[in-house]
Chain A
Amino acid sequence: MFRSLLFIPGNNPSMLQNADIFMSDGIIFDLEDAVDINEKDNARNLVETYLLTTKDLPKTIVLRINPVNSLFIEDDLQLLMTRKIDYILLPKSNMISLYVLDNTLSFLERKNNFKKIKLICLIEEAKAVNEVEEIAKHTRVEGLLLGAEDLTNELEVERTTVGNEIMYARSKVIFACAANQIIAIDTPFTDISDEEGLEYDCSNAKALGMKAKTAIHPSQLDIINQVFSPTKKMIKWAQSVVKTYEKTGKGVFQYENKMIDKPVIEKAKKIIEKAKTFDLL
């Protein structure tokens, strides 16, 4: 469970060294877009050394590999040997790339006695948006991350703070995730100096059903975490609802003049679980 994932370029040693101190629920170590083609080996080596030698690692570790049809994929996947990676982030996801990666991972799992390797798929192409329901059903896939920059490039439309141009893709990702009980992760907000814009973007995404958001700079984490956390009021409400439920043992009861039944109790339990996970209690 996470609210925020911070991208860190694999070839930035100072950011790697401090990856655990930022208030991010997880870190995406990037071997793909943030790393120049001449730096790919360097980035891979740095991330591998970091994962093998660092005592205090981030809570959740995601590795963004290069596309499955690139020259780098075999070497990138070697980092699984560190046994420290929680998720692989597959760029340019579609059913074909997912199929290819799944086969490769199955082979690696058998060969190295790995546990099942989990995936987050990056939905950043029109084809992926069309296939998103199929992608989300795949047993390895635990989350979908919308990649609005590449997508709007392909659509030849401008990215805006309001985000109407990605409304369809956002909604598709959200519904596919909800239907398959996996996590919907929102696209990063790329203007790191615009705090108001970021807050709006987060609130908008959350209101539509996104459960987490990616950050491209640590300074964005405060706002992201705040928006995607349950509020103090919600936590208080949830605690009271669960307490009343546990005390009375009734499946249906009234609380603050509203009817509380099973789905509401489940919702309250989820809020408490989130609050516990994010250290808000």
Chain B
Amino acid sequence: MLNGVGREIPNSLKPFVSSDDYKNNERRKISKKNKQSKTVFFSSYDEVFDSFHIDNKQTLSFHHHLRNGDLVIQEVCKVIKQKDLKELHFAPSSIFPSYTEMVELIKNKNITNIHTNYINGDVAKTISEGYLEGQLIMNTHGGRARAIESGDLSIDVAFIACPTVDKLANGSGAIGKNACGTLGYAIPDLEYAKKVVLVTDNLVEELDHYQLDGKFVDAVLVVDSIGDAEGIVSGTTQITKDPIGLKIAKDCSVLLDQLGLIKNGFSMQTGAGKTSLAVVSYVEKIMKERIITGEFGSGGITKAYVDMLESGLFNKLYDVQCFDLDAVKSFNKNSNHLAMSASTYGNPFEEDIIADKLDFVVLGATEIDLNFNVNVTTDVLGNLIGGSGGHSDIAKGADVTIVISPLIKSRIPIIKENVTTITTPGEDVDIFITERGIAINPKRKDLLEKLKNSKINIFSMEELLEKTHSMTGVPAKIKKDDRIIGHIEYRDGTVIDVLRRVHDDYIR
């Protein structure tokens, strides 16, 4: 059957209707964990597996706050390999290139199903080539929280890497040799998994401040190291020097200004990519010139936002994950740098979520189409290279959603008649900014009205597509494989698109 964005979805799945459709449904919640037993302390992964009887077909979850420095998922994979457990369901909030131990487990059918919000690197390549026997389900950050609380994603054991844990099993990411700041993505796992194991390399007597409440924790595993600090920081915390990226960022700031969005009390979120950081820098300049104070910045937090908080340009930061060490330090010392859980961030059924309070967001795109649908999940051949993360959550929540991208990346047009994979529905994307002009979603008549006398180059998507093709030519059609390897779940749990194995012609 066709879903609300015109994609063919197998009849066994619940099709996406529209981004507002969740309002027609009741919130479903299983009971939060009510632990009866005392917390147990372990010193090896084997002990955890034995004590909790971790066996075939179980669901194990992880968070990705340690990013490419995460050793916990790697060590768990080694134990699975040694025990040769089969048909496991993995549910890491994201999968990074460093999670290499998963590759062999997927090929050997130890791991056969995966839920995640973002995927990149060798695991992504392995799944794209069709090695995962079961299905890959890609959620949004808010959607994962919803799936866990509703019981749609039932977790047997949550392995939560935690930079510091105290003897009451309370956990904090703010301190420790592998401090990573907030642990927002781990909160749903903590509260709803059948068994919760905090894995730490820094056990202390008692924490004054903690984000993970020991009352949900079944066990604490103390190991030599949970991570490699160098891999924890994101690689993209520098402002772009690319002239095209700078032009797009500048044009974006001019547009934001002309729409009157940079005003006292405003709120914003951007990605952590180099061009997004340039947007932040231009917005900061406008705020300083006009003496404007924003209410909050949110998201994955970087030094750029920390600097703005410290110089009084924002009253608060809402942080679901710290992208760099400056953010980690700030989270540890600044009481206005606040943690938020994945649910508070973007769960559509949660009340007063941060995503809904945003005045504007600036997001990226791998592809965008004539209907403003955005793909941030696969490349043009269908290889998995990312995922929504919070993209769809904040695109829906913000008053104005802006997508920025050059028209051409590595000689490939970004605008398509139809994107390869739909991650975020076009109904939630308002403006597309490129180096050669902008397109405004025709449904946003209010924005078009506000800009009717401006000097900004406004085009239709069709015109931008034509401009692109005049430079690149019309790309050849991409062959699609028949086999469905998974699907993209919109934040409300409906299916917005399917994922297909990459065609043999494109596998190298």
Residues of A within 8 A of B (CB): 14-15, 17-18, 21-22, 55, 217-219, 222, 279
Contact = CB atoms under 8 A, between A and B. Distances in A.
Task: Say what secondary structure dominates the interface of chain B.
Answer: helix
A94 to B, nearest CB: 34
A217 B455 contact: no
Contacts, number: 21
A14 B470 CA distance: 15
Given A17-B471, A55-B470, A218 B246 contact: yes
Interface in B453-508: 455, 470-471
A218 B455 CA distance: 20
A87 to B, nearest CB: 23
Contacts of B470: 55
A21 B244 CA distance: 9
A55 B435 CA distance: 16
Q: Which of B243, B244, B250, B436 has most chain A Cβ within 10 Å?
A: B243
A200 to B, nearest CB: 18
Given A55-B470, A222-B250, A18 B455 contact: no
B410 to A, nearest CB: 10
B406 to A, nearest CB: 9
A217 B470 CA distance: 26
B247 interface: yes
B255 to A, nearest CB: 15
B243 A218 contact: yes
Interface in B396-454: 435-436
State the 3 A-B residue pairs at the shortest beta-carbon distance, nearest first.
A218-B243, A21-B435, A219-B246
A15 B243 contact: yes
A18 B244 contact: yes
Interface in B229-255: 243-244, 246-247, 250
A222 B254 CA distance: 12
Given A22-B247, A217-B243, 6 more contacts: A18-B243, A18-B244, A21-B247, A21-B435, A55-B470, A218-B247
7 contacts: A14-B244, A18-B244, A21-B244, A21-B435, A22-B247, A217-B243, A219-B243
A3 B362 CA distance: 32
A21 B471 contact: no
A219 B435 CA distance: 14
A225 B446 CA distance: 32
Interface string B103-131: 00000000000000000000000000000
Q: Which of A17, A21, A55, A279 has most chain B Cβ within 10 Å?
A: A21
Contacts of B243: 15, 18, 22, 217-219
Nearest to A193: B241
Contacts of B244: 14, 18, 21
A46 to B, nearest CB: 15
Contacts of B436: 21
Nearest to A15: B243
Contacts of B250: 222
Nearest to B470: A55
Contacts of A217: 243
A135 B250 CA distance: 40
A217 B241 CA distance: 10
Contacts of B247: 21-22, 218
Contacts of A22: 243, 247
A188 to B, nearest CB: 15
A222 B243 CA distance: 12
Contacts of A14: 244
Contacts of A55: 470
A219 B278 CA distance: 12
